C-alpha cells in the first residue's frame, strides 16, 4: 500500500446531483436560458459553469413570473415558493432529488393523518427547511440531545403520534440514536429511514479508508452538508484529515512520511476536481518517497540470510528445462524445481514466469555447505490460498470459483484450487432444482466456514446473489421515475397481466397495457423469458408496487386508421368478439369495427357464430365511419355476389 492513494469508489456526484445538473443543462440548451433559485447544488465550480451555459442565478423568487423557466434545486424548495411561482405562471422544472421528494410526501401525509412530523437533520439546511414547509407544524432536531430536551419539556410529548424522518445526508449514528430514544420513550412512533443509500455507502467507505491511511483528504464545497459529515466521520478514524475544495488547497509537504493516503469527495463534487486532487496527491507522495536508500540499508540487504520455512522475494534470472533460477539477494544460489513451481503437471514454466519477473516463494531447504537454496512457489501459493480463505471468512469477502461437481446435498466449487462445499440451500437455486446444470459455471460466493485441519471449506452463493439483488433493487427505487423506460424480462404470467423484472424489481404490466389489439390472455403476445421494452406508469415506494406499460401511447390507433382507410375501402380484419347482434373485428391494432349480423352473409343467419369464429381473418368493406364517436361499420355481405332473390329484387320493373 506504500506510496498509494486509496480513492473511494463512491466519491463524486450522487444520482440526485447528477440528475439536477443534467436537467439544468438540458433546459438551458433547449430554451437558451433559464433560472435557478440560489445554488442548484452545493458546489461553486459547478454553479459557475451552469451560469456560463445560460442558467441564471437569483435569490429573489418574486422577480420571476410568466415566461420564466425555473430549475428547482436538488435540495428542494419551500412549498410556499413553489406555489407562488405556479400562481405567477412561471414554468418549474423540478430537479429535486427523488429521495427528498419522498420525504416531503411523508411529512405531508403524516400531518394529514393527524400525526406529528419530526425531522432529524440540520435545521437551517435548505433540504430540511424545504421538507419542513410541506407541513404546518414540523419538529426539527439536530440529534439525540435535542430529542431528549423536547421529551423532558412536557410529558404529553410522549403521547404524541410521531412520524420520524431524516435528512438524506444525516449521519446514520445520529439518526439511529435519536429514533431509538423516541421508540423507547413514546407510545406511537413510525420510523422512516430516509437517509440516502448512496450517502450511507459513501460515509461507511470513507470511515473504512480513513482507518487505513496516514492522511485523509475530503474534497467538496464548504457549504455542503454531506462533505462536512464525511470530514467529521474521517476525523474519528484518521489523525490527519483535510477538507479542500480543489487541489490548490493541498498544503505543501503534508504527505512527507506518509505511506498511504485516502481520498473521498462529497456528493456535489464533479469528477474533474476529484481527478485533479488525486493526481496532485499521487505526485506529492511519490516525491516524498524519492529519497535514496542509505548505504547501510543496501549493505544489510546484500547480506540477506535465508532460513528454511520463510518467505522470500526474488527476481527470475533463468529458466531451464528442469528448474527456474532466482536471485534472492543472498550469497546462496536459489532455484525452484519444476515440480515446486505449480500444481498443474502439464503447465510449462515459461507460461508461469518470465525472466525478470519478481516472484515470491517459500524456502524449502538451505544448503550453506554447497551454497544453494531450494524454493517452492507451489507451497507458498497453497499457504496463501488458505490464508486468503480464512481471511475471507472474517472479512466476508466475495470470491470467485468454478462449479466442478454436484455433491450429496449441494455442489463443489473450486476456488483457487481449494474445494468449497456449497449446500443446496445456499446454491442460489430454487428448492428441487437440478444442480448438475451448474457444473462448469463461474460463480461468486462467500466463505462461511473453514476447518484447515480437516481441509473443509463451506461457502454460500446465495448470500452474494441476495446482496446483489438487494443492491439492484435499491438502485431501481433510487432512480425510478414516471415515464422512465427499462428493458425487462417476463418472470411470470397471470390471467390479468405479466410480471416483468426491470433489474431486481418486478413490475406489473396489466393485460390492457400489453397490446393495442384486443387479447384474452397475455400468452397471445409474450411468454416467460421474453424481453420487453417497458415504461413506468406509476409506482408506490411504500408498498413496493410498480405499474408498467408496453403500448406506445405516442401513437394514436384512430389516427393510424384514418390515415390508412376511407369509406368504401376493403380491409383484411380479424374477428375479435362475437355478439348476438353481430361481430367486432380489429381493423388496425386498437381500433375495432362492427359487422352487423345482417352484413355477415348473403343470406339470413340465426347467429354470427354460424359463419364466423373468433380469430378468423376475413375481408370486409368499410361502409361508414363516425369520426366523432370513433365508430366504424363493416360489411362482408357487400363483397359477396348477390343471390338470385337479391338480383330479382334489384332488377328494374318493365312497364
Domain boundary pick from 43, 70, 98: 98
Q: What is the torsion angle, in degrees rounded to the nearest 10, for the CA atoms of residue 605, residue 607, residue 610 and residue 611? A: 70
Residues 572 and 540 placed together within one structural domain of the fold: no
Q: What is the mean pLDDT of residues 439-467?
A: 86
Range of weakest confidence among 63-77, 298-312, 536-550: 298-312
**Average confidence score pLDDT of the chain:** 85
Residues 6+ apart with CB under 8 A from 346: none
Reported confidence tier of residue 30, pLDDT bands at 50, 70, 90: confident
CATH number of the domain bearing residue 453: 2.40.50.140
| Whether 203 and 178 share a structural domain | no
Please give the span between the terminal C-alpha atoms of the chain, in angstroms, as a whole number: 116
Q: How confident is the model at residue 654 (pLDDT cuts 50, 70, 90)?
A: very low
- Cα–Cα distances in Å, from 333 out to 305, 306, 313, 362, 491? 12, 11, 13, 15, 64
Residue 323: phi and psi, rounded to 5, are: -160, 170
Residue 556 has pLDDT above 90, yes or no: no
C-alpha cell at 271: 469528477
**For residues 335 and 324, what is the distance between their CA atoms, to the nearest angstrom?**
6
pLDDT at 263: 92
Residue 283, domain CATH: 3.40.1010.20
CATH code of the domain in which 52 resides? 3.40.50.11270
Is 628 among the residues known to form the active site?
Answer: no
Q: Write the DSSP string, 222-233.
A: TT-HHHHHHHHH
Geometric angle at alpha carbon 423, from 417 and 426, rounded to 5°: 100
Q: Residue 655: its pLDDT value, please?
A: 37
Predicted pLDDT at 427: 87
Q: What is the mean pLDDT of residues 301-324?
A: 79
CA distance 21 to 270: 10
Res. 16 pLDDT band, cuts 50 70 90:
confident
Is 563 found in the same domain as 545? no
Tell me the three cell numbers of residue 83. 406555489
For 512-559, give the DSSP string: GGT-SS--SSGGGT--TT-EEEEEEEEEETTTTEEEEE-S-TTS-HHH
Residue 637 lies inside a defined structural domain of this protein? yes
Same domain, 148 and 186: yes
Final residue before a domain boundary, out of 264, 288, 312:
288
Q: Please tell me the distance from the alpha carbon of residue 238 to that of residue 215, in angstroms, as a whole number.
A: 7
442 shares its domain with 358: no
pLDDT for position 644:
45
User: Does 1 map to a domain?
Assistant: no
Q: What is the pTM of this model?
A: 0.41
**77, 127, 205, 284: which is the annotated catalytic residue?**
127
Q: Are strands 162-166 and 189-191 parallel, antiparallel or unpaired?
A: parallel
pLDDT of residue 499: 93
**Does the residue 653 lie in any domain?**
no
Lowest pLDDT segment from 234-243, 286-295, 422-431: 286-295
Q: Nearest to residue 188, comparing CAs of 247, 114, 130?
A: 114
- The answer, yes or no, to whether residue 651 has pLDDT greater than 80, is no
Give the pLDDT score at 3. 58
Cβ-based neighbour number of residue 545 at 10 Å: 12
Sign of the Cα torsion 291, 296, 297, 303 reads positive
Domain count, the chain: 7
Measured distance CA(591)–CA(555) in Å, rounded: 12
What pLDDT digit, counting tens, does each position of 575-589 carry? 988 999 999 999 988
Segment 201-225, tens digit of pLDDT: 888 899 999 998 989 999 988 888 8
The mean-pLDDT minimum among 147-151, 172-176, 189-193, 291-295 falls in 291-295
Same domain for 179 and 103? Answer: yes
Q: What are phi and psi of 255, to 5 degrees?
A: -100, 10
State the pLDDT confidence band at 289, using cuts at 50, 70 and 90. Answer: low
Q: What is the pLDDT of residue 553?
A: 66
Residue 387 lies in a domain: no
**119: β partners:** 140, 165
pLDDT at 2 (0 to 100): 46
Alpha helix (H) residue ranges in 254-304: 271-288, 295-302
pLDDT of residue 298: 45
Together in a domain, 410 and 442? yes
Residue 62 shares a structural domain with residue 118: no
Q: Which domain holds residue 211?
A: 198-288
Residue 387 belongs to what H/E stretch?
helix 377-395
Q: How confident is the model at residue 642 (pLDDT cuts 50, 70, 90)?
A: low
What pLDDT band is residue 295 in, cutting at 50, 70 and 90? very low
| The pLDDT value given to residue 296 | 46
Q: Could you tell me the three cell numbers for 161? A: 403520534
CA 291, 296, 298, 301 torsion-angle sign: negative
Residue with cell 382507410: 565
551-552-555 Cα angle (round to 5): 130
Three state DSSP letters for 585-633: EEEECCEEEEEEHHHCCCCCCCCHHHCCCCCCEEEEEEEEEECCCCEEE
Q: What is the pLDDT of residues 401-429, one digit of tens each?
A: 899 988 878 999 988 778 889 988 888 88
Sign, CA dihedral 528-529-534-536, equals positive
The number of residues making up the chain comes to 655
pLDDT score, position 299: 46
Q: Report the pLDDT averaged over residues 387-391.
A: 82
Residue 9 placed within a domain: no
Q: What proportion of the chain, given as a percentage, has pLDDT over 70?
A: 94
Give 432's DSSP letter: T
Does 105 share its domain with 187?
A: yes
Chain mean position to CA 34:
31
- Range of 176-190, 294-308, 338-352 with top mean pLDDT: 176-190
- Quick: pLDDT tens for 158-169: 999 999 999 998
Pairing of strands 139-141, 116-120: parallel
Shared domain for 565 and 594, answered yes or no, is yes
CA 554 – CA 533 distance, rounded (Å): 15
Quick check: is 5 in a domain? no
* pLDDT given for residue 302 in this prediction: 52
Strands 418-423, 410-415: pairing kind? antiparallel
**Residue 33 DSSP one-character state:** -
Which pLDDT does position 271 carry in this prediction? Answer: 84
Separation of alpha carbons 256 and 237, rounded Å: 20
CB 322 within 8 A of CB 286: no
- pLDDT of 316 higher than 90: no
Longest alpha-carbon distance in the chain = 143
| 544 inside domain | yes
User: d(Cα 382, Cα 344) in Å, to the nearest integer?
Assistant: 13
Question: What pLDDT does residue 303 have?
Answer: 52
- 103 shares its domain with 93: no
* Mean pLDDT computed over 307-331: 84
Q: How confident is the model at residue 200 (pLDDT cuts 50, 70, 90)?
A: confident
How far lies 597's CA from each of 567, 568, 581, 607, in Å?
19, 19, 5, 7
Residues 177 and 141 occupy one common structural domain: yes
Cα separation, 336 vs 373, in Å, equals: 9
**Residue 293 placed within a domain:** no
Q: Where among 420, 435, 466 does a domain terminate?
A: 466
- The span from the CA of 528 to the CA of 488, in Å, is 11
Q: Which residues pair with 460 in a beta bridge?
A: 446
Amino acid at each position: 500500500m506504500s506510496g498509494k492513494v486509496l480513492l473511494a469508489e463512491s466519491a463524486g456526484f450522487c444520482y440526485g446531483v447528477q440528475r439536477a445538473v443534467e436537467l439544468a443543462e438540458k433546459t438551458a440548451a433547449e430554451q437558451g436560458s433559464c433560472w435557478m433559485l440560489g445554488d442548484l447544488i452545493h458546489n461553486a465550480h459547478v454553479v459557475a459553469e451552469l451560469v456560463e451555459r445560460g442558467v441564471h442565478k437569483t435569490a429573489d423568487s418574486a422577480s420571476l413570473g410568466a415566461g420564466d423557466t425555473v430549475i428547482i434545486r436538488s435540495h428542494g424548495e419551500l412549498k410556499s415558493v413553489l406555489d407562488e411561482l405556479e400562481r405567477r405562471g412561471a414554468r418549474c422544472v423540478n430537479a429535486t432529488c427523488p429521495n427528498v421528494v419522498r420525504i416531503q410526501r411523508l411529512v405531508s401525509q403524516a400531518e394529514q393523518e393527524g400525526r406529528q412530523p419530526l425531522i432529524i437533520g440540520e435545521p437551517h439546511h435548505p433540504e430540511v427547511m424545504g421538507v419542513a414547509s410541506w407541513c404546518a407544524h414540523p419538529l426539527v432536531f439536530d440529534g439525540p440531545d435535542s430529542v431528549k430536551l423536547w421529551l423532558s419539556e412536557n410529558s404529553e410529548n410522549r403521547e404524541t403520534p410521531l412520524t420520524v424522518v431524516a435528512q438524506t445526508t444525516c449521519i446514520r449514528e445520529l439518526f439511529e440514536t435519536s429514533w431509538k430514544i423516541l421508540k423507547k420513550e413514546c407510545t406511537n412512533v413510525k420510523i422512516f429511514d430516509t437517509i440516502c443509500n448512496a450517502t450511507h455507502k459513501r460515509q461507511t467507505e470513507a470511515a473504512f479508508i480513513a482507518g487505513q491511511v496516514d492522511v485523509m483528504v475530503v474534497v467538496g464545497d464548504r457549504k455542503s452538508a454531506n462533505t462536512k459529515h464525511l470530514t467529521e466521520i474521517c476525523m474519528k478514524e484518521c489523525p490527519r484529515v483535510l477538507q479542500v475544495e480543489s487541489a490548490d488547497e493541498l498544503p505543501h509537504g503534508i504527505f512527507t512520511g506518509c505511506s498511504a493516503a485516502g481520498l473521498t469527495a462529497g456528493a456535489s463534487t464533479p469528477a474533474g476536481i476529484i481527478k485533479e486532487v488525486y493526481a496532485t496527491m499521487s505526485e506529492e507522495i511519490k516525491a516524498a518517497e524519492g529519497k535514496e536508500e542509505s548505504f547501510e540499508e543496501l549493505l544489510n540487504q546484500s547480506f540477506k540470510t535465508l532460513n528454511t520455512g520463510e518467505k522470500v522475494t526474488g527476481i527470475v534470472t533463468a529458466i531451464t528445462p528442469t528448474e527456474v533460477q532466482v536471485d534472492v539477494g543472498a550469497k546462496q544460489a536459489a532455484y525452484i524445481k519444476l515440480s515446486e513451481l505449480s500444481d498443474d503437471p502439464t503447465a510449462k514454466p515459461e507460461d508461469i514466469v518470465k525472466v525478470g519477473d519478481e516472484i515470491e516463494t517459500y524456502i524449502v531447504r538451505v544448503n550453506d555447505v554447497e551454497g544453494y537454496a531450494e524454493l517452492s512457489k507451489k507451497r507458498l501459493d497453497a499457504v496463501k490460498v488458505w490464508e486468503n480463505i480464512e481471511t475471507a471468512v472474517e472479512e466476508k469477502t466475495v470470491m470467485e470459483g468454478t462449479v466442478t461437481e454436484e455433491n450429496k446435498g449441494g455442489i463443489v466449487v473450486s476456488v483457487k484450487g481449494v474445494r468449497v462445499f456449497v449446500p443446496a440451500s445456499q446454491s442460489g437455486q430454487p428448492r428441487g432444482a437440478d444442480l448438475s446444470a451448474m457444473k462448469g459455471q463461474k460463480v461468486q460466493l462467500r466463505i462461511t466456514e473453514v476447518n484447515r485441519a480437516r481441509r473443509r471449506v463451506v461457502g454460500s452463493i446465495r448470500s452474494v446473489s441476495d446482496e446483489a439483488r438487494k443492491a439492484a433493487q435499491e438502485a431501481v427505487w433510487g432512480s425510478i421515475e414516471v415515464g422512465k423506460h427499462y428493458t425487462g424480462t417476463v418472470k411470470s404470467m397471470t390471467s390479468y397481466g405479466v410480471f416483468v423484472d426491470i433489474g431486481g424489481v418486478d413490475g406489473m404490466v396489466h393485460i390492457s397495457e400489453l397490446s393495442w389489439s384486443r387479447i384474452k390472455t397475455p400468452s397471445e403476445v409474450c411468454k416467460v423469458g421474453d424481453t420487453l421494452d417497458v415504461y413506468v406508469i406509476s409506482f408506490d415506494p411504500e408498498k413496493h408496487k410498480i405499474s408498467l406499460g408496453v403500448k406506445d401511447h405516442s401513437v394514436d390507433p384512430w389516427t393510424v386508421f384514418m390515415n390508412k382507410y376511407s369509406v368504401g375501402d376493403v380491409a383484411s380484419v380479424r374477428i375479435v368478439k362475437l355478439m348476438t347482434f353481430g361481430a367486432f373485428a380489429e381493423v388496425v391494432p386498437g381500433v375495432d369495427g362492427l359487422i352487423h349480423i345482417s352484413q355477415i352473409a348473403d343470406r339470413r343467419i340465426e347467429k354470427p357464430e354460424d359463419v364466423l369464429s373468433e380469430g378468423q381473418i376475413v375481408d370486409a368493406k368499410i361502409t361508414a365511419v363516425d369520426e366523432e364517436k370513433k365508430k366504424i361499420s363493416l360489411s362482408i355481405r357487400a363483397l359477396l355476389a348477390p343471390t338470385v332473390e337479391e338480383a330479382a329484387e334489384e332488377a328494374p320493373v318493365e312497364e
